[in-house]
Amino acid sequence: MNNKKKIIDQYKKKVNEFKKYNEAYFNKDKPVISDSEFDKFKSDILKLESKFPFLKNEGSIKKIVGAKPSNKFKKIKHLRPMLSLSNAFNKDDMIDFLKKVNNFLNLNKKEIELFSEPKIDGISATLVYENGLLTKGLSRGDGTIGEDILENLKTIKSIPKKLQGIEVPNLLEVRCEIFIGKKDFIKIQNDFANPRNAAGGSLRQKESTETAKIPLQYFAYGFGAVEPMKFTTQSTFLKKINEWGFNINPLSKIANGINEIEKIHQKIDSIRSSLDYDIDGLVYKVNDLNLQKRLGNTSNAPRWAIAYKFSAEKAITKIKNITIQVGRTGAITPVAKVDPVTVGGVVVSNATLHNEDEIERKDIRIGDTIQIQRAGDVIPQVVSVDISKREKKSKKFIFPTTCLCGSSTKKEFSKSTQKEDAVRRCTKGYDCKYIAREKLKHIVSKEAFNIEGLGKKVIDQFFDLSLIKEPADIFKLDYEKIRNFEGWGDLSIENLKTAINKSKSISLEKFIYSIGIRHIGQENGKILASFFVSIKEFSKLFDAKKRQMILRSLVELDGIGETQVDAIENFFSKQINVKIAKNLINQLNVNNFLIKNKDGKFSNKKLMFTGGFRNMSRSEAKSIAENNGGKVLGSMSKKLDILIVGDSKPTKKKLDQAKEFKIKIITENEWNKILNS
């Protein structure tokens, strides 16, 4: 009995400590331990609960919600979305970036002038000036909608409140990175985990007088909306706003060609430790703003910029155990649990082992001494094993052939590579509770339904309590039950209810992406949405006979290949997926796909390209057609309206079929005339 009391006292002490860590991290922006230490601490408590069932009478920490939904600031839509950046980690990645830019613009290997800027490890914000006066200041938010933090930004004395100089635009949206200098951080380091966290916590203070106490700085690096637009290059833009009073990074400079890119990158990498601010790489942008406009964006990143991260930082540690994680697509991923070690300023206790083949190739075993590396925000990975330190009794790791749910796993055969996939996958789908849980986390994420306050930890909690088992359950939550859980008051419940109700109205392309069909990303979701237009038409995929006819048409779409078509067939051939999709649709208002330009030059027209163009790539031509309301097909069809024939090596078969189907054929010159008309 005394032993039981001792365990309960120890448990209560740990739970109280856990609550303090939670409060510091989520509500005060002042974590007192690292993320990995927090996760380990929580795991230790859960192990106690599992080992001693009588502790459940004391209340489980599973009921403690990590973060309350933010309701500190008014939400405002950005004039132009704040997109994220694609990453490069080595010279080959940069060569690939330059090649893609060159191919898109059809520049025939002409050297493109880039502009390099240090990538500050801070907090992104945007400043809006109307007639030279600072009128809005927003946090990044989800990239589309930010928080109104104008009064807090005004406390940064070096941010101009009124623009001085000539030719100031009527409207100017300036993007900047807010940070705290390393020297200044030393004075307040007891209150924050790191400089970036300190900057974030300061900007999210409810009272600007509190923000004013923190020595925040900034560098301006880009723009959103500008009216009238007078800049022609990124370099002249920065030079001009510097004249108007903005701080710009002095290490920014023009770069021509891969050799110069590498030279600049190595130089800045060698001096970064001496800088008074943290940087984790360089951002390279196409300097010509007209070329930037032509390149445009993907769904979440510009095609004209890339973040070239600095060399990965390495550390030596030891593998304590190898566990298995199940992803939303059923992928079985092995993870090495390692002795906590600091890599690049971050304490890590997990490292990815990628897949079964990787473990076998490197002969990775439990107990091994390993070297791990962490590049940017990527989860640490195992670089090598020190065989000389391996114990004699060490045994090879046998990769499990079953999922955590007990179901069999398999490696799929790839038609594109004609090889067996390296990744082993669970065969169950939504019937596997581990996959179901991860699919729920995907559906509430920013890129999908974007339900603020319903993050991964809350999904875990609600899933364990059987409050949410499938997506439709999100919209039928029992808020009265939630009210009984610790950490959920009237305000937090009301905020969650508001966020969920708001997400009930969703675009067709986001819905398609959200339901988690393998190989269907955001770009594919958009292409499919432009094909189906309405949820009513999309729902015809639920019927096996109709689906076969639709899939034959989907092959014609540019950007949708055999892999995507097979994935759609596999997904909807499982009745549980159809049932879940139907249940979800019944809870939503799925908005029809909006054609970019209803009155465009190719509105409601189906186009196809063949042959190379003199002045633009096929990708750019496709982008122009879609921006003008057209739909681009990838294969010949009787439904085609126009075949555009480039001057360089058009396909004879396509020309012959177009003539046979009596499809309108236009030349490259005629295409250019239509665009310029």
Q: Which residues are catalytically annotated? A: 119
Which strand (E) or helix (H) includes residue 280?
strand 279-286
Q: How far apart are CA 544 and CA 149, in angstroms?
A: 51
The phi, psi pair for 297, rounded to 5°, reads -130, 160
Q: How many CA atoms lie within 13 A of 546 on its CB side?
A: 9
Cβ neighbours for 603, distance < 8 A, ≥ 6 positions apart: 595, 597, 628, 629, 630
Q: How far apart are CA 530 and CA 630, in angstroms?
A: 10
C-beta separation of 154 from 134 below 8 A? yes
Going by their DSSP bridges, the two strands 369-374 and 381-385 should be labelled as antiparallel
**Cα distances (Å, whole numbers) of residue 638 to 484, 608, 633, 657, 661:** 61, 12, 11, 9, 6
Structure tokens at 28: 């005060």
Q: How many CA atoms lie within 13 A of 256 on its CB side?
A: 2
Q: How far apart are CA 493 and CA 467, in angstroms?
A: 14
Which strand (E) or helix (H) includes residue 318?
strand 313-326
- In 3D space, the residue among 396, 351, 398 whose CA is nearest the CA of residue 372 turns out to be 351
**Cα distances (Å, whole numbers) of residue 636 to 523, 546, 549, 554, 631:** 22, 21, 16, 12, 13
Query: 40 by DSSP, 3-state: which?
Result: helix
C-beta separation of 356 from 466 below 8 A? no
Which strand (E) or helix (H) includes residue 198?
helix 195-203
CA angle 596-600-605, nearest 5°?
A: 90
β-pair partners for 256: 113
SS3 per-residue string spanning 221-250 = EEEEEEECCCCCEHHHHHHHHHHCCCCCCC
Tokens 């002490």 belong to residue: 13
β-pair partners for 425: 331, 410
**Cα distances (Å, whole numbers) of residue 576 to 27, 51, 346:** 39, 35, 41
- In 3D space, the residue among 216, 221, 222, 220 whose CA is nearest the CA of residue 196 turns out to be 216
- In 3D space, the residue among 556, 571, 562, 299 whose CA is nearest the CA of residue 435 turns out to be 571
Query: 171 by DSSP, 3-state: which?
Result: strand
Q: How far apart are CA 424 and CA 324, in angstroms?
A: 11
Upstream peptide bond of 340 is cis (omega within 30 degrees of 0): no
Query: 302 by DSSP, 3-state: which?
Result: strand
Helical axes 2-22 vs 35-51, angle rounded to 10°: 150
